[in-house]
Structure formats: C-alpha cells, structure tokens
A = this chain, B = another copy of it.
Amino acid sequence: MANKPSIPKGTRDFSPAEMSKRNYIFDTIKDVFRLFGFEQIETPAMEMLSTLMGKYGDEGDKLLFKIQNSGDYFSALTDDELLSRDCVHLASKFCEKGLRYDLTVPFARYVVMHRGEIAFPFKRYQIQPVWRADRPQKGRYREFYQCDADIVGSESLLNEVELIMMIDEVFRRLGIRVAIKVNNRKILAGIAEIIGESDRIIDITVAIDKLDKIGLDNVNKELSDKGISDDAIARLQPIIMLQGSNDMKLQTLKSVLASSETGIRGVEECEAVISGLSAVTLSSQIDIDLTLARGLNYYTGMIVEVKALDVEIGSISGGGRYDNLTGVFGLKGVSGVGVSFGADRIYDVLNQLDLYPAGTGGGTRVLFANLGSDEVASIMPAAARLRAAGINTEVYPDTSKLKKQMGYADTKHIPFVVIVGSDELAAGTMTLKDMVTGEQCPVTIDRLLDAVTK
C-alpha cells in the first residue's frame, strides 16, 4: 500500500483558481514596475551559504534552509567532530548551499558580480519565491513570493518620489484603498540625538504609537517606566503630539530638531519627497508617521509602509533607502532604494474585499461538446478557427454523457458550450449554449465567432 502523499509544512500547492488570482496580482505589479522603467532579473534558488550567512542576524542564519552537499562528506570528518554532535559546526561541513531567504542579498550579490555589464542607475525588479524555516502559522509560510523593485547607484530623492508614485499606481489598479506612511531614518536619529537617548529609539516609537489608544499621560508614563529621563520626555512632547497636515508636521519637526544636523537633513529629505509628490495626482493619502521604524538597522533614509484602509492586516508593501547595499560583498558606496509588495497579504485583502475583476485568469471561453467521432471530426475546423482568432477553446476529449460535459464546463466556468449532435451534423449547423443565461441558438461559424468574441 502506497503512503498517502503530503507536502512539507508551511508550503502550498496552488490550484488553477488560486493561480489565476495570484497571476492577476503579479501581472498588475509587473506591469507597473515596467511602466516606471524597472527591468526584470532572476537569480538561482540556491546561493552559496557564504553569500547568505551573517546577513540576517543570528536568528536569520538559523532560518536558512541548507542543502546537503553531494558526495561523501563524512570521510573528511574526525571521530571527535562527529561525536561532538555540534549542529552548527557539522552543518558547515555538510552544506555549502542554502535556499535564498530574501531577494535583497541575492540582488546585492548580483550587482557586485555583474557590475561591469550594468548601466547605472540600475532599476531592477525581481519576483521569485524565498524560503524561511520559520514556524508556520496563519499567513506565514516557509515558501512565499517576494516582489521587489529597487534602484541602485543613484542618491537622487526623485527615486523616492517615483517609488511612492509606483506604490500608489499598483494599489489604484488593484482597487485597494491604502494609506502610504513615510518616515525618515535620519529624523529618528535626530530625535534620539536631541533627547540624548540614541539607543532608545525603538522604545520611543513603540510608546508614541500608542497615543491614540492609551492617551498622552500613559505614553509619558510608559516612557518613564522604560527609563527615559524626565528631561528627555519633556523634549519629546511636541513629537509625541505631532499632528495635522504633513506640512505642519514638517514645520514642527524643523523647530524641534533644529540642533540636530542629521535630524534636519531627514526633515529636508522628507520635505523634498512630499513636495515632489504634490506635483502629481495620487489616489492614496501620504502620511508622515514617526512610528514607522521598519528595518531600522538597515534603512538609512526614507522608510515607507503601506496600510490597507478597509481590511485589518499588517503592512502590504514597504521599503526604503539603504546606503551601502553591496559593501558586504566588497563594493562600497552604492546606495539603493526600493519597495517590496507582499503578494500573500494582497491576495488576502483582494479576497476579503472581493476585488478580483470578472474574468480574471483567461480560462477557456468555448467548450465544444463531444457527441461522437463524426461529430468531433466536423468540429475540429471550427475549433481551429476560434483558436486562430485567439479564443481559448477546448474540445471535450471523451464521448461522455452531455450532462457530464456540461458539468465540466460549469466547474471550469466556461461561458460558452457548442453542441454538434446528429441533428446539427445533418443540418450542417451548430448549437451555441450561453452557460450564464442558459439560452441556446443555432449558429454558423461566423455567428459563433461573433458571439464569443463580444
């Protein structure tokens, strides 16, 4: 008796219906990436562990899927090494390759290896799966796609402006109402600097984030509990209560951060981005949000995050600027800025809001029923005619009961069925059934082509 097959936990099969929806998302994102001049690359699923290790922190190193070397890797190990049962050490002997953990490190590796053939600024997009040996849970998978667009080799803030325009266009096309939240790492550094608490920026943003929920007094209490000095808390008050339009926020920050050179640079960068965006028409609101502290050890300038307005879910897109992307591979001074779209969360949002357009997927449009070999022989030229006109067409392969064939059309959501039985064969005609209205009528090939093209 064969075993019941299964798939590794945290991984998924995608059915045709799911693939149609996923392709709709990927195609929308790709079209917008190209609309803004990004070009696609792909990198191998496997990277050398020397490329991956040490890039995602100790926790990340543990979450890498490692691939066993081929050949006899035991003979080179001493008895002591083997009996040490030291997983980390032994894995380094058994494995030299791992599955990619994100698209950013492979991209940095790509830029370094191909720098001689790249025209900078390099605008690349990449849509591929990544793998993480995380504990699977609702909405978190061990294999999932990332959709990244980055520009490297240009420090111009016009890149930030265009990336936000691009985010706006993706969600406009998908019909998802979003708020695009922006911040700047240098503003956060400035805040830490003026209150003399450079290490506490995460504690501070976490507390500020609770203002709406717990009120000012409680925020201040939390800051105090976390060990922030009274003096620093007093200085933070205008920042905690930062409100109003983006312009008002920027004015407040300018005066509060006046003594921090870095902070003022952050405010100016933010101002330039907001001002650049004011010259174009956007569908989404742009909010300066100081509680954005995404990838704090990583980003060096703008930080951006996208929240869906009509569904409770984490951020569905995000990104920012990171200086020195490629430094770890020996190429200094290359600045990058990019965004990433969370396809799985976007999928959930579109499902919850039922936002998939009708006809998503480009499935079969016409099914020719099969009522016998003579009938099929007469059908084949008509099917070829439809296909030549670009209409997705099937001929049911077996001479099964018509009811079964109709059921097949229903399951695949095929809108038209063409029936040629002995009557039609004798009369040299075909019967067209509209599966939505249930209407039937006799048609010639030209009428058929006309009816199914509409």
Contact = CB atoms under 8 A, between A and B. Distances in A.
A195 interface: no
Contacts of A23: 40
B82 A330 contact: no
A370 B158 contact: yes
Contacts of A441: none
A434 B112 CA distance: 33
Contacts of A397: 121, 151, 154, 156, 158-159, 162
A278 B119 CA distance: 52
Given A16-B124, A83-B82, A364 B65 contact: no
Contacts of A51: 5-7
Contact of A48 (B6, B44, B77, B114): B6
Give the 4 A-B residue pairs with the shortest CB-CB distance, closest first.
A37-B394, A16-B39, A11-B44, A74-B85
Interface string A34-66: 111101111111111011000000000010011
Contacts of A90: 74
Contacts of A41: 13-16, 19
6 contacts: A14-B41, A36-B392, A37-B367, A74-B86, A79-B83, A158-B395
Interface stretch (A176-184, A206-214, A243-251, A375-383): A375-383
A44 B12 contact: yes
A358 interface: no
A255 to B, nearest CB: 25
B394 A123 contact: yes
Contacts of A91: 68
Contact of A39 (B7, B50, B117, B412): B412
A230 interface: no
A356 interface: no
A155 B411 CA distance: 20
B45 A6 contact: no
A433 interface: no
Interface in A186-241: none
A1 interface: yes
Contacts of A2: 327-330
Copies of this chain present in the complex amount to 2
Interface string A80-117: 00110111001100111101000000000110111001
B44 A68 contact: no
B6 A398 contact: no
Given A14-B41, A44-B8, A94 B94 contact: yes
Contacts of A62: 70
A4 interface: yes
Contacts of A16: 39-41, 124
A317 interface: no
Contacts of A329: 2-5
Given A11-B46, A13-B114, A395-B158, A362 B87 contact: no
A359 interface: no
Contacts of A75: 85
A423 interface: no
A39 B66 contact: no
Contacts of A3: 50, 329-330
A42 B68 contact: no
A281 interface: yes
B4 A19 contact: no
A129 to B, nearest CB: 6
A12 B114 CA distance: 12
Nearest to A43: B13
Nearest to A85: B74
A144 to B, nearest CB: 10
A77 to B, nearest CB: 8
A72 interface: yes
Contacts of A412: 37, 39, 119
B113 A5 contact: yes
B395 A280 contact: no
A156 B397 CA distance: 6
Contacts of A133: 70
A40 to B, nearest CB: 4
Nearest to A135: B70
A401 B401 CA distance: 72
B40 A68 contact: no
